Structure 1
């Protein structure tokens, strides 16, 4: 017989609640309990900011309350209206995106969600089973997007690059997938060929917000479906180091148009992965706002 646990927001210590650790442990236990039929949890009297998270993980809740301070998206909504929006997000496969939007305006939800996402890397974890279907777009529009279980699994699946050549070609991403069918790729490689570069001499890697993507993963489901408007540069650096762990190229041909990505390449060169970095003439520069 499963045990019943009621978590009442009004009874929580504010300091324990605020940093997200307490709630992440409650939610992980609740999801695990549902999976194993050992524990039943009910979350009561929580502010409306929590409803999307409870619904995302399929948790039992009741009696949501108004938020004390103004919160965009949430304040002023009735529980009925909020549930309507959540159900619409479910039908369109975008409940995770709605949850991330809420996390962007509520610090405690943000802290809790990142802890739950981090826990999803464990070997036995029901949370990692919450995922999008294979035909839904993956919209990476905020920092939490890169902590999703399916994105973290993709990172783990990207292999350490097996160096085949003495040179590496670093390419920008393209809107059309797979990359080698995109106008960006065809135009750039055509210009390189005309300039006398033999692409057979180069290992090819696309540098994108998703990370350093080797050619053998260009048709991976995640790579084919993602769209983004935000970048986590340190995460990209870590992925670049992981990919190039055993690689030491005589030359890196840097064809990137985004200055922060070129800086990442320079760092990897300083760390010893590229003896020399070259940049072809005439490449455009992307006018995306960056720190100066």
Structure 2
């Protein structure tokens, strides 16, 4: 197929996806989750106040001093300052964004794989793929049109749902850090890009919708839930001097884990990895972690495109 035909193909695929009821349902779902978790963040901030007395954290103010003034020993009472409304809402927003980020790492992959996979399977079932063959359609351009339409639709879903959420908060006068919001949106964008490409492979391999759904669920369970246990099992067999670099390479093989580590680094929370992996902080500072993430995602996208194209060619498409 000539490249000039890719634009009308992408436009047609985009129109089909935008008419899907699933797309509207995902917009409502993401907007509802963002609002729900923001309310949960407000409640968690209210129920988790910090108590500090005499410079000792979490010590009851009614401590028994035997009639001796603690100031004689240089211990001055630190009175907890009341949080302003802006600081309170910002703390609630940060907590809700952290929870939404974890939900995105779980939900975006399965949404992309189901939508993209069923789109190709539907073409197989209704004969549209056979029609493309009559136009001497290249499988590579066909896959690109599917990929672009799916990516643009999901960008639209994320932009409308989370963008509307951020707009409402800003109009309401709530304060939040733009940096955290930017990292959150980048996490969603990266996940959409890589798993939209993976969905092409699932769609080309599967022959029926049920087979495609089963494959998507199986792959999702492996990469989201089982993969970390596989890493922990394999890493024990690796010599100690190679454990760190091996663990990093295993993380890059799984886009969910690599995006998670990258987002934690961008939020300056590398301490959660422990002192043994402070090298991640250095990689995040000098940009090596971002380059490694972009490189790994690019390689995964290229591999899935090539494999999907080969599968279609072997089946005469």
Shorter-chain TM-score range: under 0.3
Q: Which has the higher helix share?
A: 2
Instruction: State the structure with more CA Rg.
Output: 2
TM-score of the pair, normalised by structure 1: 0.26
Greater relative contact order structure (CA < 8 Å, 6+ sep): 2
TM-score of the pair, normalised by structure 2: 0.24
